[in-house]
Structure 1
Amino acid sequence: MSIFGRIKDAIMGRGNGILRGESTPATPLAPAPAAAPAAPTPQNQQAAAPQPAPAEPVDVEQVLTEKLAAKGNPDLNWRTSIVDLMKLLDLDPSLDNRKELATELGYARAKDGSAEMNIWLHNAVMLELETNGAKVPAKLAD
């Protein structure tokens, strides 16, 4: 699984959206309905089933704040640091993994672990989470 995929799963949980480039899971086809009568009759007329409400988007700030509280490590600054974000999610924040993440997300400059790269990565992760249906505060999705 990709580094971003692991970040996304750690925040949004499995099955809460499809990453770009991944296919949707196979869904079995329902059997074809029998021919319907031309007009409903009292015997076959049914009340329309209510549609389920769409799932609320995952609130990234809430999830990460709760994870931080559970870890009891207030020194992790996940709001601005890609390294701290990865640590909070129990992912290896090594330079090799950040280079891989940079490649996945399309970083075109030197993958040297610079502050520029790390800031770009954090912003790109937040934007990608938002693209995948998460609720990301505007201040984090710049």
Structure 2
Amino acid sequence: MDAQVAPLLERIDARERELGTAAEQLRTQIDELTARLRELDEEIENLAVTRKTLLALPPSAPGPTEEPPTLPTHPAYQQILDTFAETHGAKRARDLCQALDLPLTPKSIESTRHKLKRLVSLGVLAETEPGLFVQRRP
């Protein structure tokens, strides 16, 4: 073997060992991250099942002192409720903007979403999944 080639082969061997070690460390990290991802996916699935179960429960009977929620006075809230009454099923903020002939701009969609969230907080609507709203049944 040539005296000039031997040092190069040693450097190649050393670099191969370094890369092998780095690759093995990355494989270990990938395994750990894959396990963590699996745990998070299971937790997300459990939360979805819990949400679905809670939404399927019959509403509790209102107490004698429970009064209906006071709706905001702005006419947009009544328009939203009228749209839910006219067309059954779940709706997104964008769907309501279309139904109400509002411009489909981020500002109007976000404003409608805010109103929907307010109606959820008042107990008039329910959010069955993020961004999807339905009318609560009395």
> When the two structures are superposed, what TM-score results if normalisation uses the length of structure 2?
0.30
- Indicate the structure (1 or 2) with the bigger Cα radius of gyration: 2
From the two aligned structures, give the one with the greater strand fraction.
2
* Higher share of residues assigned helix: 2
TM-score, normalised by the number of residues in structure 1:
0.30
